[in-house]
Amino acid sequence: MKKKNLSVKKKIHNFYYKKLEDPRIKNIYSKFKKTLSKYASKNFCVAVSGGADSLALSFLAKYYSYEKDKKIYFFIVDHKLRKNSTKEASLVKKKLKFFKINSEVITFKKVKKLSNLQSYARENRYELIIKACLNKKIDLVLTAHHSDDLLENFFIRLLRGSGLKGLSSFGNIKSKIKFDDKIFILRPLINVSKEDLIYISKNTFNFNINDSSNQDDKFLRVRVRKLISKLEKEGLTFDKFKISLNNLYKSNFAIDHFVKKNIKENSNYLSLNKSIIFNENFLNQPDEIVFRSFSEVIQKVGKRKSYARGVKVENLLKYLKFGKNYKKRTLSGCVIQKIQNSFIISAEN
């Protein structure tokens, strides 16, 4: 390597190490490293949006790669939902390269005009990242979700009528991506505030993309963010919220235990016709246990990306419990046949 290149490399290394002399950044990095040491596998990538939080994550991940001598991939998604998205993605790539972070821009092929653009963008962003991960044999995606996101998602799901599982699931540090069970999301900054991440971004790269939609009241997330701001003035803190959320986690974990037990003890796999038969005890459990057990089986047998809609599951369970006829029903790629006090589930042909 030429002396000039060595000098530049050393300068960049020193830049990262120098920033860790800041006590606030060092403290956040320590928590970040501890999480990675516990959950990270061989290969992982960073999902970069260009916002202050994802650039803070990029800085922390790059420092980690120097410290552990580890290769980390960085993916920037150009969703093409804003007029300047392609230019913004290109600019983020250029800025990261200046700090010796090689990144790859992956792009939406088709863009639909939908009412829920943020949800559409989020789902398609993950789908693109998954494809990139599979190509490079990566099984873990680092995202910059932080404590503010945790609060916002809780209230969004509460407003939409989510149950215990929905209210408590987002706070998991590591979870599966619904599109492919081989790829996991890791949220190493879920207990770090957005304010802290803005501080890191400002005091390291000193650059980020501002998304104007983050101030647009037509989006539910923006309205919820403003609601939380008002609740904070009434005494809501993240620490208080986390206590309540941890209690929900414990309750959800207990229910999951009995869901697995119900499926294991009250169902049998029939290899001859690749079906699952259930005895009458399967339906004689508390309602939430039955609902989750049934949803779990339907999702797996039907090989669906997500669970069937709650209303359809509830209606089908009523039929299995109280229905008088034995006509076959279908749901999410499954055929359900009632047989006296039991029933059989098999995949549709």
State yes or no: pLDDT of 2 exceeds 80.
no
Q: What is the DSSP letter of 87?
A: H
Mean pLDDT score across all residues of the chain: 87
Mean per-residue pLDDT for 194-219? 88
pLDDT band for position 163 (cuts 50, 70, 90): confident
Q: What's the CATH number for 3-234? A: 3.40.50.620
State yes or no: pLDDT of 35 exceeds 70.
yes
211 SS3 class: coil
Taking only the tens place, the pLDDT of each residue in 67-99 is: 988 889 999 988 777 778 889 999 999 999 999
Predicted pLDDT at 341: 81
Strand order across the beta sheet in which 329-331 lies: 267-270, 275-278, 342-347, 334-339, 329-331
| Of 10, 100, 9, residue with least CA distance to 59 | 100
Chain-centre distance for alpha carbon 279: 35
Report whether 207 contacts 52 (CB < 8 A): no
Parse the chain into domains and list their residue ranges: 3-234, 258-347
Cβ contacts of 316 within 8 Å, gap of 6 or more: 294, 329, 331, 336
* Count of C-beta atoms within a 10 Å radius of residue 267: 18
The secondary structure of 299-349 as a DSSP string is HHHTT-SSPPPHHHHHHHHHHHHH------EEETTEEEEEETTEEEEEE--
State yes or no: pLDDT of 111 exceeds 70.
no
Mean per-residue pLDDT for 298-318? 90
- How many percent of the chain have pLDDT more than 70? 91
How far lies 21's CA from each of 130, 142, 199, 200, 273, in Å? 35, 24, 14, 12, 64
Predicted pLDDT at 3: 53
Taking only the tens place, the pLDDT of each residue in 311-333 is: 999 999 999 999 888 889 999 99
